[in-house]
Amino acid sequence: MLSKKTKYGIKALTYLAKQQHGVPVPISTISEMENISLKFLESILLTLRKSGLLGSKKGKGGGYYLLKNPDDIRMTTVMRVLEGPIAMVPCVSLNYYEKCDDCPNEAECAVHHLMIQVRDSNLKIYGETSLADLINY
Amino acid sequence: MLSKKTKYGIKALTYLAKQQHGVPVPISTISEMENISLKFLESILLTLRKSGLLGSKKGKGGGYYLLKNPDDIRMTTVMRVLEGPIAMVPCVSLNYYEKCDDCPNEAECAVHHLMIQVRDSNLKIYGETSLADLINY
DNA sequence: ATATTACCCTACTAAGTCTATAGGGTTAAA
DNA sequence: TTTAACCCTATAGACTTAGTAGGGTAATAT
């Protein structure tokens, strides 16, 4: 299941992508427009800022804004920041690999092979989709 | 993340698929061969039996066995029984559809569109992969 | 028959995650 | 210097996960 955090995060990013580039949008505005609890959204945007996707400006007229062009933000990045590893098991994770306790032989593990396929197909989708793609229809 | 339940369930199924068709295998055997806690495995096999994938035989010489040929067991079925819906959000689930509380317009929701792609690609993989495919290499 | 093997079922629980909520602190612009 | 808005920490209820515990029931071999 996709967490609400990720869902809300993507919605916030797409909202920002629709605005004029570089102009800060207050959390409260995004919260109202996308029906997201203000405080929860605050923590999500903070995560996105720390990851380098968003910039922020304090004080009156401040808010959050995209640091890059929506065309240059791939969903792989977004998913990894918000949801964590793309892989469904650590033993097929490219960035967070971990050996399984119970698997004596990874090369012969059926789950391993299946999950590599799932990982690759999802990576392909996320890699080929940019934030700009999400708002174009 | 894939739950241990699903992971262990798939391992148990592949183990059974490698055995002579129709011959019952005791839980204890699978537990030892696949390094799975006996009691936990018991509850997983029970789930699989209730779903119609496995049959069981009681008493001495009893155990669990596949009810169908490994070629005829698709991973879509297995994943739905063990892990639940394939879709990452209820609003793109084929079998467990649910509207989102926060979405005023599903057709224009960016998350919705993205997750439909993910669902379809995963459905394709699970649908094209049988239990027999998992043990053939 | 009866002992044994193995399935069947319920209940419980420690640990972790999710989805927030609460409350205040800090910064910078007007 | 006021105020809008970001920044940060702590907490908590609900839920899920990954088991553990303990026994009940059925069927087989002898």
- Rounded, the Å distance between the CA of A105 and C1' of D3 is 63
Can you give the pLDDT at residue B103?
Answer: 87
pTM value is 0.95
Identify which of B1, B35, B129 has the shortest CB distance to residue A114.
B129
The DSSP secondary structure of A39-108, one letter per residue, reads HHHHHHHHHHHHTTSEEEE-STT-EEEESS-GGG-BHHHHHHHHT--SSSSGGG-SSS----SS-S-GGG
Q: What is the DSSP letter of B60?
A: T
Distance B24 CA to C6 C1' (A): 11
Domains of chain A, start order:
4-66 (1.10.10.10), 73-135 (no CATH)
What residue ranges in B1-137 does DSSP mark as E strands? 54-57, 63-66
pLDDT tens, position by position, for chain A (137 residues)?
999 999 999 999 999 999 998 899 999 999 999 999 999 999 999 999 999 999 999 998 999 999 999 999 999 999 999 999 999 999 999 989 999 888 888 988 999 999 999 999 999 999 999 999 999 86
CB proximity B73 to A under 8 Å: no
Through-space separation of residue B63 CA and nucleotide C4 C1' in angstroms: 15
Given a contact cutoff of 8 angstroms between Cβ atoms, the answer to whether A89 and A111 are in contact is yes
Instruction: Say which nucleotide is closest to residue A60, CA to C1' distance.
Output: D4
User: Looking at residues B61-89, what average pLDDT do you find?
Assistant: 96
Interface test with B, best of A41, A101, A102, A106 (most B CBs within 10 A): A102
Quick check: B24 CB within 7 A of strand C? Answer: yes
A5 sits within 7 Å of strand D by its CB: no
* pLDDT for A137: 65
Predicted local distance difference test score (pLDDT) of residue A16 = 96
Does B33 lie at the interface with A, CB-CB under 8 angstroms?
A: no
From CA B55, how far away is CA B67, in angstroms rounded? 6
